[in-house]
Amino acid sequence: MERVESVRCSRWNRPGRGCAPGSGILLGSLMVLCISSGLFGDPIPAAEGPSAQQGAEVMDGGSAPDEAAQERELRAEQLAEAESLVEAFPEDDNAIYLLGLVHLQLGDSESAIATFERCKAMDPDRADLFESLGEAVLIRDACDQAVEHFTRALTLEPSRFSARKKLADTLLRMGRADEVLEVLQGHGAPDPEYYRILGAAHQQLGAFAPARDAFLRAIELDPNLDDAFYGLSMVCARMGETEAAAEYRERFREIKAKGQIQGRDWRRGFSPLEATRRSVAMTNTDVGRVFLSQRRIAPAMRLWERALQLDPRNQDARWHLAFFLLQTGRASDALPHWRELCRSTPDYPRHHFHLGEALTRTGRLEEAESAFQQVIRLAPDRSEGYAGLCNLYLLQKRPGTELLPLAEKAVAIDTSPANLVLLSIAFEQYGDRKAALEAIERAVRMVPGDPKLLRRLQQLTP
C-alpha cells in the first residue's frame, strides 16, 4: 500500500524537520494524507465526538486507582487502540507497522517481530520497517540479523541517517570497525554520536590521530558527551600526549559524576505514570494519522482529543486537532489550540497563519490582521501571509489600493491559481477589469475545467 504524505505538508514544514511527526511512536516514518483547504477545496464533513475544550483538558485523577493500576490500564488502552486499528484496516501496512511499534515499546519483541514480518509481506520496500526490525532483533542480541535489517533499510533509503548510525554502532559492538568506517565515511552530519562512533572505530583499528579528530568533533557538538572524553583520554595516552590524556580523563570523571547526580535527581522526580501517559498519547496521535489516511476524520479527531487529555504538551495532536476543527467549521473550538501553539512556538509562521484564519472566521478581524502581519514578518518570502491579509481586507471591504499590493506580492512569490484569483479580485476592486480578466485567464490555463474558475472567467468576459 502506498505511504501517503502528512497533512503538515499542506503549507509549511516545521523548521529543521521533514513533514513527518517528530515526537510520535512512528519515529517520523508514518506519512499520512495531505488535505489542504485551498481556495476551491470542498469542506470536510463535521467531526463527531467530544469538544475541543474537553480534549485540551488534563485528565482528572479523581478517585482513580493507584498509579501502577493506572499504568496497566493505559498500556492496555495503548495496545487496544493499535489492535482495533488493524481490525479496521487489515490491509493497511501503516496500521500493521504501528501495531508492531506498540509491541516493541511495550517490550514484547517477539510480537513486534512477528507483526513487522506481516507488514513486510505487504510492503517489502519500507526502509522504516527494516530499521524497526533491526531494533527489535537487537533486543534479543541477534546482532547479525540486526546488521542485515539495518543494511536493507539503507539500501532502500541511503539518506536514512538514523539507520546508518544504528548499523555502525552494531558493527562496532561486534568488533567490525573496518565496516563501520565503510558505513559512516562520506555520510557525515553535525551529530555528536556519529563522530563518537567514528572515533571509536578508528580507535579499534589503532588509527589514533583520526580517532582523536573524530572525538574532538563530537565534544565540539556536545561538550557533555562523556564517552567521547573517555575515548579522547585513551587515544591521547596511546599517542604519548599524557597531559592532554589526563585533562580529558578528568573532564570525563567530572561529567560522569555530574551525570550521576543529575540521574539521581531525575529518578527522584520521575513519574512512570506521566511517562506512560505521554507514550499512550503519542500512540493515539499516530493511530489518528492512520484513520486520517483512510479519510476517517471523526475517529481521528477523537484520538487527538484523547491524546491531549493524556498529554496537553503533545503538539502533534494539538496541531492536527486544531487544523481539522478549523476545516470542519468549528473555528471557535480551534481558536484556543492555535493560540496555544503560537504561544509555545512564537517564531513558527504557520501557526500564526492558522490563528489568523480562526480569528477571521470568529469575527475577530483586528486580531486576525495582526496574526497575518506576523506571518509576513516571520516568513516574508512566503505568499501565505500576503494572501491571508488580502483575503481579510476583502472581507473588510478595503479599497483596491490596499488589496492590490498584497495580491501582487503573493503572485510574485507563488503563481498559484488561488493567488491569481485574489489578484483578479484585487484588480477588479481597483477598477482594472482588463487586468482582472488576464489574471483569471492565467488561472484557468493552470487548472482547465475548474467550474469556479470558469464561472469567474464568465463574469469578467465582456
Q: Residue 198 sits in a domain of what CATH number?
A: 1.25.40.10
Residue 386 in domain? no
Rounded to the nearest 5°, which phi and psi values hold at 363? 80, 10
pLDDT computed for residue 81 by the predictor: 93
| Alpha-carbon gap, residue 402 to 394, rounded angstroms | 10
Least Cα distance to 360 among 391, 398, 320 occurs for 391
Whether residues 120 and 3 fall in one domain: yes
Last residue of a domain, one of 269, 285, 320: 269
Give Cα 313 to chain centroid, integer Å: 14
Whether residues 253 and 304 fall in one domain: no
Whether residues 230 and 291 fall in one domain: no
Last residue of a domain, one of 220, 239, 269: 269
Residue 263 in domain? yes
Whether residues 111 and 5 fall in one domain: yes
Whether residues 263 and 315 fall in one domain: no
Grid cell digits, residue 222: 556536545
Least Cα distance to 306 among 293, 294, 291 occurs for 291
List alpha helices for 176-225, DSSP H.
177-184, 192-204, 208-221
Residue 457 in domain? no
How distant, in Å, are the alpha carbons of 31, 81, 108, 113 from that of 286?
10, 10, 19, 20
Whether residues 231 and 118 fall in one domain: no
Domain that holds residue 265: 190-269
Whether residues 1 and 120 fall in one domain: yes
Q: What would the pLDDT profile of 180-226 be if each residue is shown by its tens digit?
A: 999 998 887 889 999 999 999 999 999 999 999 999 999 999 999 99
Concatenated DSSP letters for 281-344? HHHHHHHHHHHHHTT-HHHHHHHHHHHHHH-TT-HHHHHHHHHHHHHTT-HHHHHHHHHHHHHH
Residue 54 in domain? yes
Residue 348 in domain? no
Residue 8 in domain? yes
pLDDT computed for residue 102 by the predictor: 95
Concatenated DSSP letters for 232-275? HHHHHHHTT-HHHHHHHHHHHHHHHHHHHHHHHHHHHH--HHHH
Identify whether the C-beta of residue 1 lies closer than 8 Å to the C-beta of residue 92.
Answer: yes
pLDDT computed for residue 258 by the predictor: 83
Whether residues 207 and 309 fall in one domain: no
Last residue of a domain, one of 269, 296, 314: 269
With 0-12 / 13-18 / 19 or more C-beta atoms within 10 angstroms meaning exposed / middle / buried, residue 237 is middle
The angle formed by the CA atoms of residues 193, 317 and 314, to the nearest 5 degrees, is 55
| Alpha-carbon gap, residue 326 to 90, rounded angstroms | 30
Burial 175-207 (b: 16+ CB within 10 A, else e): ebbebbbebbeeeeeebbbbbbbbbbbbbbeeb
Whether residues 261 and 289 fall in one domain: no
Residue 428 in domain? no
Question: Which regions in the chain score pLDDT beneath 70?
Answer: 1-65, 261-270
Q: Taking the model in full, what pTM does it have?
A: 0.74
Residue 241 in domain? yes
Task: Report the residue count for the chain.
Answer: 462
| Count of domains for the chain | 2
pLDDT computed for residue 65 by the predictor: 56
